[in-house]
Amino acid sequence: MKVKFALFSIPVLLFYFVQSISSHPLQLDLPILIDSSLSNSTTLPRINTSFSNVFPCFYPGTDHLPTNYQDCGKAIMEMPPRTDPRTYTFGRGLYASYKLPKTFINGTCLVNLDMVYDEQEDDLTFSEIRDAAFNLAIQCAAGGKFKMGGVAAVRPRNVMYITIMGVRP
């Protein structure tokens, strides 16, 4: 009997096994870095035009609340299904087929999709966006020292970004 995992990616599968992963005594403490423009924000973080996907996680601060991977995984799952093979034009502009910004909230986790600049657009599938969101959640909500969330660009053009951050339930 063959088992196919074509519809699931590693981040999605890890979502279901994260409790055993995050409670393991050898859990990694991933490096944490915050963009200096994020330190005094009162709403969603403003992002510089350059991203550091190597160290995307937030440090604790007065404007950052902790979150957890279970809530973030559920918020990401509220996005349209990854089985949708269509490519959408994401952006804020008139011709975007999927308008941004878009926010998904579950429990203590907020997941926000947005563009760096108003006039930018990018052609992506929801599979690419979900994978990037799960990767960020694994690194900054399941792994890491502070579990405060983070921000990362969605490849290949890096003009769309995902912000994951804690909110009050």
What would the pLDDT profile of 118-142 be if each residue is shown by its tens digit?
999 999 999 999 999 999 999 999 8
Domain assignment of residue 15, yes or no? no
Domain assignment of residue 53, yes or no? yes
Q: Which domain covers residue 88, as residue numbers?
A: 33-38+49-166
| pLDDT of the residue at 43 | 45
pLDDT digits (tens, 9 = 90+) for 56-99: 888 877 678 899 999 999 999 999 887 888 999 999 998 999 99
| pLDDT of the residue at 61 | 73
Number of domains into which the chain is organized: 1
| pLDDT of the residue at 166 | 93
Q: Are 14 and 137 in contact (CB under 8 A)?
A: no
Max mean pLDDT among 37-46, 136-145, 151-160 falls in 151-160
Domain assignment of residue 6, yes or no? no
Domain assignment of residue 154, yes or no? yes
Domain assignment of residue 58, yes or no? yes
Domain assignment of residue 95, yes or no? yes
Mean pLDDT of the chain: 75
Domain assignment of residue 132, yes or no? yes
* Pairing mode, strands 88-91 and 98-99: parallel
| pLDDT of the residue at 135 | 94
Nearest to 51 by CA among 143, 144, 136, 165: 136
Domain assignment of residue 111, yes or no? yes
**Rounded to two decimals, what is the model's pTM?**
0.68
Alpha helix segments (H runs only) across 50-165: 69-77, 126-137
| pLDDT of the residue at 83 | 82
